[in-house]
Chains A and B, each alone.
Chain A
Amino acid sequence: MNDFQKLVNAWLDGALTDEQARMLNVCLVQSDQQRRHFANQVQLHHLMREAYVNDDCLATALLRLPPAAKGAGQVRSIWQELPGKSRPSTAALVVLQT
């Protein structure tokens, strides 16, 4: 494991020290390759989080809406069009309701 990977691991473990943060920034500003490596790992990290956290807040919110609620049909339409298991944010729903 190289030094850069140790910094990335500290990030992914949620345990980055101030000194490690400084070193990570230096690496990320200097190297396009390391930025891509970091971004790839962070993306996977958040996909893992998404996989384990059942973010069904919009579905829950939709169930609570009265059928005639303004925008409810639009949100349902958006929900149905989503690819795969994408989980929309409650925020979009809230905005459509206001």
Chain B
Amino acid sequence: MINVESLTKEYGTTTVVDRVSMLIPRNSITVVVGSSGSGKSTLLRMVNRLVEPTRGRVTIDGSDTRSEPAHLLRRRIGYVIQGHGLFPHRTVAENIATVPRLLGWTATRIGSRVEELLEVFQLEPARYAHAFPHQLSGGQQQRVGIARALAAEPSVLLMDEPFGALDPITRAKAHRELLDIQRRFGTTIVLVTHDMDEAFRLADQVAVMSEGRMLQYDPPAALLTRPADPFVSRMTGMADRAMRLLSLTTAAEAALPGGSSGPSVAATASLRDVLSELLWRGADSAVVTDEDGTPRGHLTVEAILAHGRPR
């Protein structure tokens, strides 16, 4: 658990981050959203002390981040930045081995960890371990950047606009991968972005920042149903908020018991996708099925619409 207590950063007379407090639960993804200049990156960089706070403090699992030298603290915290920042003069394997080497792991332990991560990130070791970053595609470079950040098994991973440089298709894939990785390693992830769609896709809880202040810190649905500030409504988008709300619930979560006729939809599909499918087909109801085709229940248009209203 990360406890951010009244964190403030001032440069001269300008306050970049203004008394931000938040409790970031373990094993979850927290997304900090804000426009450029909102202080979101500074907030993130105060967690691993790339920026030293003017006031306030951060504790990780109860221990103050200032209780050890900053560079030692950072070896325990994964860090991913926009444009990956891979070391161009080092191979993929060497890049991933950066932190384990700093920590003085044995060569065999480093080797097996690197291999494991390459497998996890679908980079065939024989082909990519000794490649240089410039020989990879943008998506692969980003994956290596995340693998490098996770190499020393940090419990916390900080990500600063990690997918900003990727095209939409690669980004969607990167989002799915990140969710898988988070589930697999149980890492506590704090991610900064200006993209509200990205926030809704990934976040267990979203923090909205503007002009250095934190306007709201809630699960995604609450941003839509109970926006704390007009700015939050503007960020989430008023026009399609019902559809956004639908996109937060999966078919499996909303499925009603019993079978019904109609097209079959995947249990993992969002209600937004199911509704769209029903509209397209002119059907009133759909059968929710597992990956192997077993029916899990059904959904009606009426039931879906009920999920699009604030409760």
User: A and B bound?
Assistant: no
